[in-house]
C-alpha cells in the first residue's frame, strides 16, 4: 500500500506540471482509490480566468477517464506556494461525490514539512446529495 509520504510526493511532482501562468499558484493532487490505483492531476488555467481547473478535479477526472469505479480512500494535495493547501469548496463536493459514502482522508503538508490529515466529512459537513 502506498504511503502518505509517497502520495504527497506524487502530488508534489504533479504540482510541477501545473499550467498556472495567470496566478503563478501551482497545485498538485494525487488520489488513492480502493482499487489500489492512484491518479494525479495539476491545475490548468485559462486566459478566461474563471475556467481554471483545480488539481484535485483534474486528478479525479483522470481517474474516471481511466475507468476507475471504486471510492477515494485518500487524496494528497500540495502547493509550493502555501502551507496546508486545503481543497476549494467545489473540490470538496467532488471529493464527496467519489468518496461514495467513505470518510476520505485529505493529506496535506504544512510549511515545516509535517503531514496533517483531515477528513472530508469535517471539511464538508451536510454536503449536497441527490436522493
Ligand atoms: N486551485 C487548485 O488547483 N485547487 C484548489 O483547491 C484551489 C485552487 C488552483 C486554481 C487556480 O489555478 C489556482 O489554484 C489559484 O486559484
Span 61-73, pLDDT tens digits: 999 999 999 999 9
**Which of 14, 16, 18, 27 has most ligand 1 atoms within 8 Å of its beta carbon, as the pocket-test mutant?**
27
Structure-block grid coordinates of residue 90: 467545489
Q: Is 56 exposed, middle or buried (0-12, 13-18, 19+ CB in 10 A)?
A: buried
Q: Is 13 exposed, middle or buried (0-12, 13-18, 19+ CB in 10 A)?
A: middle
State whether the Cα torsion 59-64-66-69 is positive or negative. positive
Residues with catalytic roles: 56
CA of 87 to the centre of ligand 1 (A): 8
What atom in ligand 1 is closest to the CA of residue 42? 3
pTM of the full structure: 0.98
Per-residue confidence (pLDDT) for residue 7, from 0 to 100 = 98
Pocket of ligand 1 (CB under 6 A): 20, 23, 25, 27, 43, 45, 52, 54-56, 87-88, 91
Distance (angstroms) between ligand 1 centre and the Cα of 79 equals 9
CA 63 from centre of chain: 12
What confidence score (pLDDT) does residue 85 get? 98
Q: For all residues of the chain together, what is the average pLDDT?
A: 98
Tell me, what's the pLDDT at 131? Answer: 75
Judged by DSSP in three states, 53 sits in: strand
Distance 19 CA to ligand 1 centre (A): 11
Amino acid at each position: 500500500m502506498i504511503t502518505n509520504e509517497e502520495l504527497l510526493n506524487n502530488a508534489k511532482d504533479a504540482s510541477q506540471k501545473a499550467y498556472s501562468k495567470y496566478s503563478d499558484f501551482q497545485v498538485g493532487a494525487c488520489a488513492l482509490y480502493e482499487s489500489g490505483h492512484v491518479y494525479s492531476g495539476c491545475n490548468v488555467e485559462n486566459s478566461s480566468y474563471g475556467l481554471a481547473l483545480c488539481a484535485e478535479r483534474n486528478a479525479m477526472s483522470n481517474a474516471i477517464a481511466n475507468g476507475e469505479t471504486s471510492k477515494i480512500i485518500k487524496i494528497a494535495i500540495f502547493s509550493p506556494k502555501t502551507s496546508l493547501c486545503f481543497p476549494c469548496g467545489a473540490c470538496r463536493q467532488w471529493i464527496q461525490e467519489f468518496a461514495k459514502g467513505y470518510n476520505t482522508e485529505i493529506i496535506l503538508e504544512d510549511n515545516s514539512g509535517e503531514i496533517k490529515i483531515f477528513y472530508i466529512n469535517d471539511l464538508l459537513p451536510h454536503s449536497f446529495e441527490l436522493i
